[in-house]
Amino acid sequence: MARSLDEELRALYGLPLEEFTAGRNELARRLKQDRDPRADEVAQLRKPTVPVWAVNQLARRDELGMRRLLAAAAALRKAQERALEGSGTAGLAKAHAEEREALRKLTERARSLLGEAGRPATDATLERISTTLAAAAVDESVRETLKAGRLDRELEPLGFDALAGMQAAPRPARAKETTVADRREQQAEERRRRELRGRARDLEREAREAERAADRAET
């Protein structure tokens, strides 16, 4: 094959959605012909849904907008982590507003791309696009796939509660008999987790209030 498999896959996910299945099958056929062991894996690639296809097109057609979203999402994540650590919520509303604006612009661009492709840009479809963008932008396991325009599934974003859970992950159990000091440490850890979950709920509420205030300011 003249191109690497990564290049072939990038081209595949850039095709019009109605051409994906034929393109995938042709790529798998050529790989099998070349006795490439990855042929079966390629043959099983899922056809993207319309929202996922639109997100992949955004990675190709609006690279600047995608970079802005990734930067805004990273800033928001850091602001959330600082808030959960008790360092205050200064900057949280601003970070949330910037991430929201980056999402809004990309979602509007997706509306145009869907129209160009002759596909309906319903509110439900645009919401799924926005949700997947928001989730992928902060998920380290798929950020690079998002940037490459090769997502294969829709995603749901992590909320403050999930972040609090990661921040307060329990320590690995030690292979020894539990002592009084151990029990006290476990109780303190549990109190910390409860406090973080409570703080996460407060931050979630503040974020929703800030979003409603931003909506009112725009009308």
> Rounded to the nearest 5 degrees, what angle is found at the Cα of 194, between the Cα atoms of 204 and 208?
5
The pLDDT assigned to 203 comes to: 60
Cα separation, 189 vs 161, in Å, equals 16
Query: What's the mean per-residue pLDDT of the chain?
Result: 83
Cα separation, 147 vs 87, in Å, equals 31
Q: Where are the domains of the chain?
A: 5-43, 50-159
Model confidence at 3, pLDDT cuts 50, 70, 90, reads confident
pLDDT over 60 at 17, yes or no: yes
Instruction: Say what the pTM is.
Output: 0.72
User: Which pair of tokens denotes residue 195?
Assistant: 């406090």
**Neighbour count for residue 46 (Cβ, 10 Å):** 10
Model confidence at 171, pLDDT cuts 50, 70, 90, reads very low
Model confidence at 133, pLDDT cuts 50, 70, 90, reads very high
pLDDT over 80 at 20, yes or no: yes
pLDDT over 70 at 188, yes or no: no
